[in-house]
Amino acid sequence: MDARYQQIARLLKSSIASGELAAGARLPSSRTFARENGVSRATVEHAYAELVAQGWIERRGQAGSFVSDTVTPGSALPAASLTEGTDNIPQPFQMGLPALDLFPRALWGRLMGRRLRTQTRFDLGPGDVAGERLLRQAIVDYLRFSRSIDCTPEQIFITASYAMSMTLILRTLATAGDGMWVEDPGFPLIRPVIAREQVRLLPVPVDENGMNIDAARALHPQARFVLLTPAHQSPLGVALSLPRRRQLLDWAAHREGWIIEDDYDSEFRYHGKPLPPLKSLDAPQRVIYAGTFSKSLFPAIRTGWIVVPAPHVAAFRRQAAMYPCTVPGLVQLTLADFISQGHFWRHLKNMRQHYARRREWLERALKQQGFDVAAQQGGIQLVIAVTDDDKQLAARANQAGLAVQALSAWQIEGGERRGLLVCFTNISSAEMAEQLAEKLSKAIRPASATHGAAMD
Ligand SMILES: Cc1ncc(COP(=O)(O)O)c(C=O)c1O
């Protein structure tokens, strides 16, 4: 085990290397840092002294300690951390991460402390297999207000992740050999989870109106499931058009098929009004809605949920009895308080404002470097159009410490669509955006960026 001062020094180094702390940025005083992190001032002084000795930071007398002007983002980032993620430190452009600096940790700590102090012995029992009722009620209220989804707490099942949600859905509803339409390109990490349940993945092309339902029916008429991200397609960012939403609901009603609506980041939309979720139009009761707090709060909370059609609650409960909710009761109840006391709303509002700015910073900085950025309505990532082999470009960017992903790596068939996927949530200043865009440009050579859109 490292000494505490070494852990702090390592954390600061990573923040500097990732660009979160830019060159010239002022560090908090050792007294403030010590108070915020619950360590002694001497420990912080020791960590700062080590960083000074190694050239990461400089002391400027009364003015305080500053990140050295000579360091640049990614300068000393160990390449292995891109894949191993041992340090929990976000890498520049890392996909799927919300802004970790914006979460109100002190408030969260107070809410959890209060819950802990007022626990009774009954809170030590196993809890409901579908999750704490208080949290399920808070989610019901949130969904009604923000997504026009009308449901009851019985229809909600709390899970530890999207993968667990998918597992519960398929173990309840699927039979081995069933087929599932999936978006191509689409979120790759869920595919092995689906395949493990012996459900066949049937790729369907995505165009500017989202998943192409006509193509899906023509290519794979035998499907029983469809999985999609209608609010904001992952990763292209398009919305499923209203006619296609109707078409899909019709298909499900006639075919007795199931629609899995992955609404992973619909909270983040910067222009226009969102279309109604499929679940809010679900007269035939064929939609299972999947939500997560990974994007709206933070991934370490490891809490998601599904909303299941009322006639199938009993079947889902029978499955959930075999795989009860694994999110600790204390976390669930803290989360319920966070939502019902209005903090969730305030946090989302704050995130939306910051994200709009961070997105603009990155978009502008990328365009200044000659990159072509495809327009998106919302979400937390951008797609840069390229014509060269995007996997090679992404590999070069990764070597430079930038966690860029290739669009073609998200495709099942063809892979003719090329682009680079970048997430902007942890870019905390215009300067940081400029430094990172320049670094990306240098890493992959600007000559390879083009002016053709990724949607072509
Ligand atoms: C498309 C998509 N769906 C769902 C999720 C949520 O997954 P989890 O709840 O496991 O964090 C993610 C996370 O990155 C995602 O990108």
Overall number of domains in the chain: 2
Which runs of E-coded beta strand occur in 129-224? Answer: 156-159, 179-184, 200-207, 210-211
- Please report where in the chains the tokens 């930071």 appear, as a residue: 57
Task: Indicate if 194 and 321 belong to the same structural domain.
Answer: yes
Q: Which token pair is 399?
A: 């070597």
- Does residue 79 contact residue 401 with C-beta atoms inside 8 Å? yes
Task: Indicate if 155 and 229 belong to the same structural domain.
Answer: yes
Task: Indicate if 233 and 159 belong to the same structural domain.
Answer: yes
Query: 229: domain range?
Result: 126-341
Task: Indicate if 333 and 234 belong to the same structural domain.
Answer: yes
Task: Indicate if 313 and 182 belong to the same structural domain.
Answer: yes
Q: Considering the domain boundaries, does residue 148 fall inside one?
A: yes
CA of 96 to the centre of ligand 1 (A): 7
Q: Considering the domain boundaries, does residue 232 fall inside one?
A: yes
Measured by CA distance, the residue closest to atom 7 of ligand 1 is 162
Task: Indicate if 162 and 269 belong to the same structural domain.
Answer: yes
CATH number at residue 18: 1.10.10.10
Q: Which amino acid is at 183?
A: E
Task: Indicate if 187 and 63 belong to the same structural domain.
Answer: no
What was the pLDDT predicted at 269?
82
CA of 40 to the centre of ligand 1 (A): 38
Closest CA to 320 of 449, 455, 130: 130
What was the pLDDT predicted at 40?
82
Q: Considering the domain boundaries, does residue 265 fall inside one?
A: yes
What was the pLDDT predicted at 82?
38
Q: Considering the domain boundaries, does residue 416 fall inside one?
A: no
Q: Considering the domain boundaries, does residue 395 fall inside one?
A: no
Residues within a 6 A CB radius of ligand 1: 96, 161-163, 187, 229, 234, 262, 264, 292, 294, 299, 304
Task: Indicate if 142 and 236 belong to the same structural domain.
Answer: yes
Q: Considering the domain boundaries, does residue 233 fall inside one?
A: yes
CATH number at residue 192: 3.40.640.10
Q: Considering the domain boundaries, does residue 441 fall inside one?
A: no
Per-10-residue mean pLDDT of the chain, 456 residues long, equals 69 73 81 78 77 68 76 44 53 93 96 96 93 98 95 98 97 98 96 97 96 97 97 93 96 97 87 85 95 95 98 98 96 98 96 94 96 86 94 95 95 86 95 96 70 42
Measured by CA distance, the residue closest to atom 13 of ligand 1 is 96
Final residue of a structural domain among 32, 49, 72 = 72
What was the pLDDT predicted at 55?
63
Q: Which secondary-structure segment (H or E) carries 290? A: strand 287-292
Which mutation among 97, 157, 162 tests ligand 1's pocket best, with the greatest number of atoms within 8 A of CB? 162
Task: Indicate if 292 and 218 belong to the same structural domain.
Answer: yes
Distance CA 343, CA 70 (A): 40
Task: Indicate if 193 and 324 belong to the same structural domain.
Answer: yes
What was the pLDDT predicted at 440?
97
Q: Considering the domain boundaries, does residue 63 fall inside one?
A: yes
DSSP SS3 for 299:
helix
Task: Indicate if 44 and 157 belong to the same structural domain.
Answer: no
Task: Indicate if 193 and 268 belong to the same structural domain.
Answer: yes
CA of 236 to the centre of ligand 1 (A): 15
295-316 b/e with 16+ CB inside 10 Å = b? bbbbbebbbbbbbbbeebbeeb
Q: What's the pLDDT tens digit per position in 64-95?
A: 888 876 565 544 443 333 344 445 677 899 99
Final residue of a structural domain among 341, 376, 408 = 341
DSSP SS3 for 94:
coil
Q: Which token pair is 225?
A: 């499931």
Measured by CA distance, the residue closest to atom 16 of ligand 1 is 96
Q: Which token pair is 433?
A: 């955006």
